[in-house]
A = this chain, B = another copy of it.
């Protein structure tokens, strides 16, 4: 593994290796494993878990990290090629990324979707243009349509909790939100569940289906792994026998880039807020998952988050162990394994 850009790019053995290494690191600290190694973290967007868990994870392995946030103590960075830079951006990523990489052993980049051009976001063009100029191992800290660290951590959480892979019923449910959010987490998570071999249901109101390229990719993963993928707008049908509901809001692809039309389209859907009544008869033991941050009583009711079915803090903690496994594989030389 030279970089960690997309969980979908890894075969079953590679995923299993990362997951078992994550469990091992959780159980037996390796405080010298990455001694002297340095991770550069470049955040174009806000973060809590990623920001904290990568710093903590490097420290737990004996290494260190530094954080660069364009516009906050550092220059605004240009990502487009070929432009005349006489605006607000003082520096181009074509310089900034090789420079940061030259100080570090690996680089992590967070760069959310632009949210204006669906095709460009689906192509993950901004992130991939930065990946091209990065000469050291690169970690995707969330790009326009991917969030592999979240997906790997969530996979571990389901393993920890004994949620079945083959035959496990995974529901990804759209939820209401005041803003049109990116597709990165739903795209990463629906693929992860399919890749894990689960029976995946995408539950969403009409007009909020995930774009076809995302679904097609998840379907192919399901075919390979022995899982399945279906879509529905029927909550009761979706949750029947579900092991996991993973809630997340995302922008409607129908009005992508048109904030006003999108908001009007979304306006009547405030009842897409996960409550205990969703589970009552059909899925009493269903776990509640969310990548966080989550808006209480908007995406999910207090009663669900504060009750026993919520595993959101467990998921967040697993971000650290999963990422430590990735860092270990990227930064520890072969033959150094003890």
Which positions in A face B, CB cutoff 8 Å?
29, 31, 35-36, 38, 40, 43, 46-49, 51-53, 55-57, 59-60, 64, 66-69, 72-75, 78, 82-86, 89-92, 94-96, 98-100, 102-104, 178, 292-298, 302, 305-306, 312-313, 316-317, 320
Shortest distance between the CB of A278 and any CB in chain B (Å): 18
Report copies per complex: 3
Shortest distance between the CB of A190 and any CB in chain B (Å): 22
CB contact under 8 A between A102 and B313, given known A29-B36, A64-B64, A66-B56: yes
Contact residue among B38, B43, B297 (Cβ-Cβ distance under 8 Å from A84):
B297
Would you call A96 and B48 a contact (CB within 8 A)? yes
CB-CB nearest in chain B for A299: B85
Nearest first, the 10 A-B pairs at minimum CB distance are: A91-B293, A85-B295, A102-B317, A56-B103, A55-B66, A99-B316, A84-B297, A59-B64, A90-B293, A31-B36
Would you call B60 and A36 a contact (CB within 8 A)? yes
Q: Is the interface of A mostly helix, strand, loop or mixed?
A: mixed
- Set of chain B residues within 8 Å of A99, measured between Cβ atoms: 48-49, 52, 292, 313, 316-317
Would you call B296 and A85 a contact (CB within 8 A)? yes
- Set of chain B residues within 8 Å of A72, measured between Cβ atoms: 72-73
A298–B197 CA distance with the chains assembled, in angstroms:
52
- Set of chain B residues within 8 Å of A66, measured between Cβ atoms: 51-52, 55-56, 59
- Set of chain B residues within 8 Å of A84, measured between Cβ atoms: 296-298
- Set of chain B residues within 8 Å of A40, measured between Cβ atoms: 52, 56
CB-CB nearest in chain B for A73: B69
CB-CB nearest in chain B for A84: B297
- Set of chain B residues within 8 Å of A59, measured between Cβ atoms: 36, 38, 64, 66
Chain B CB within 10 A, most for which of A86, A103, A312:
A103
- Set of chain B residues within 8 Å of A91, measured between Cβ atoms: 48, 292-295
Q: A29-B36, A38-B59 are in contact. List 17 more A-B contacts (CB 8 A).
A: A36-B59, A40-B52, A47-B74, A48-B68, A48-B99, A48-B100, A49-B99, A55-B64, A56-B66, A57-B103, A72-B72, A72-B73, A92-B296, A95-B293, A95-B294, A99-B292, A102-B317
Shortest distance between the CB of A35 and any CB in chain B (Å): 7
Shortest distance between the CB of A181 and any CB in chain B (Å): 10
Would you call A75 and B102 a contact (CB within 8 A)? no
